[in-house]
Amino acid sequence: MSTEDGPAVRARRRTRWTRGAASVVRPVLIDKVERDHRQSDAAFRRRRIVVVITLVVGATLLGLSFATRQGDPAFYLLTFGLAATWALGSFLSGPLHLGYIELLGARRRPIITPILVGLLLAAVFVAGGLVIRHIPPLAGFTDGVLGYARAGNLLLVFVITVVNGIAEELFFRGALFAAIGVRHPVLISTGVYALATVAGGNPVLVFAAIVLGGVVGLQRRAGGGVLAPMITHITWSGTLLLVLPPLFAGAS
C-alpha cells in the first residue's frame, strides 16, 4: 500500500466504524419505534393523580431508609417497602409497556444492548470513583451509601438493589414518563427522579440519578417501554455494588 493510500484507507475505516456505532446507538437511544400508547383524558388524569401520591410516599420512604443506621434491619424493611410502593403505584396508574427497538432490520425486545449500556455506564462511574475517593467530601458521601452494603448481608443488599432498580424503572420510566405526556418527558422525568432522590440526603446519589435518569430516559423514549431501562439500571447498580465497596475500602 502506498503512503498516499494510508490516510484514505484510515478515513474509510473511521467512516465505517462511525456508521456501525451509529447503527447501534441510534435505535437504542435516539430513533423511536412506532407505537400507539394513547389513553383517554380520564385515564390520563387518573394516572397523574396516582403518580403524585406514589411520589410523595416513595420519597418519604427513601428519606427514612437512609436515615437508619448502617446495619439496622429497618433499612431492609424500608427499602423493600419503597420498592413495593414504586411497583404498586406503577401498576395502579395504568398500562405499562415493555417496548421494542429496531435493530439490524428487525423489531425485537431490547436485551443485550441495555446490558452493554449498563456496563458502559458502570465503567464511567468506576472511573469517576477512582478520582473522587481521593476527594474527602465526595468520598465521604459515596462511602455513606456503600456503608450499607458493607454493614449488611451482601446477598440481601444485592437483592434489594435489583428489586428497587426494577421498581424504580416501572415507576419513573413507566408510570411517571407516561403521565408527563409528549412535551420533554426525558428532561422532566429525569428532573423528578433527581428531586425524589434528594430525600436521601446524599448529593452523590442525586448526581447518579441525573446521569442514570438521562440515559434510561432516552432508552424509554426510543423503545416505548420499561424493559431496556430496567435491564440497564440493574446492570449498572449491580456492577457498582460489587466493584465500588472494595475500591473505597482501599482508599487512602
- The pLDDT, as a whole number, for residue 5 is 60
Neighbouring residues of 14: CB distance < 8 A, sequence distance ≥ 6: none
pLDDT score of 135? 85
Is 134 a domain residue? Answer: yes
Cell of 92: 395502579
pLDDT at 249 over 80: no
168 domain residue, yes or no: yes
Decide if 50 contacts 170 (C-beta within 8 A): no
Q: Structurally, how many domains does the chain consist of? A: 1
User: Residue 150 pLDDT more than 80?
Assistant: no
Distance separating the N- and C-terminal Cα atoms of the chain: 52
Local structure of 101: helix, strand or coil: strand
Q: Grade residue 145 by pLDDT with cuts at 50, 70 and 90.
A: confident
Domain-embedded: residue 1: no
Q: Residue 21: inside a domain, yes or no?
A: no
Residue 84 to residues 57, 69, 90, 200: CA-CA distances in angstroms? 11, 22, 10, 17
Query: Rounded to an integer, what distance in angstroms lies between the CA atom of residue 103 and that of residue 110?
Result: 9
Give the CB-side neighbour count of residue 232, counting CA atoms within 13 A.
Answer: 28
Q: Which of 118, 225, 100, 124 is nearest to 169 (CA)?
A: 225
The mean pLDDT value for 211-224 works out to: 95
Q: Is the pLDDT of residue 53 over 50?
A: yes
Work out the mean pLDDT of the chain and round it to a whole number.
86
Residue keyed to cell 436485551: 111
Residue 113 covered by a domain: yes
Per the structure, the complete domain to which residue 35 belongs is given by 31-249
List CB contacts of 247: < 8 A, sequence separation 6 or more.
126, 129, 130, 133
For residue 252, the model assigns a pLDDT of 46
**Is residue 6 included in any domain, yes or no?**
no
Q: Could you tell me which residues are beta bridge partners of residue 106?
A: 103
9 within some domain: no
| Strand blocks (E) in 135-250 | none
C-alpha to C-alpha distance for 140 and 10, rounded to whole angstroms: 46
**What string of DSSP letters covers 51-77?**
HHHHHHHHHHHHHHHTTSPTT-HHHHH
**180 within a domain of the structure (yes/no):** yes
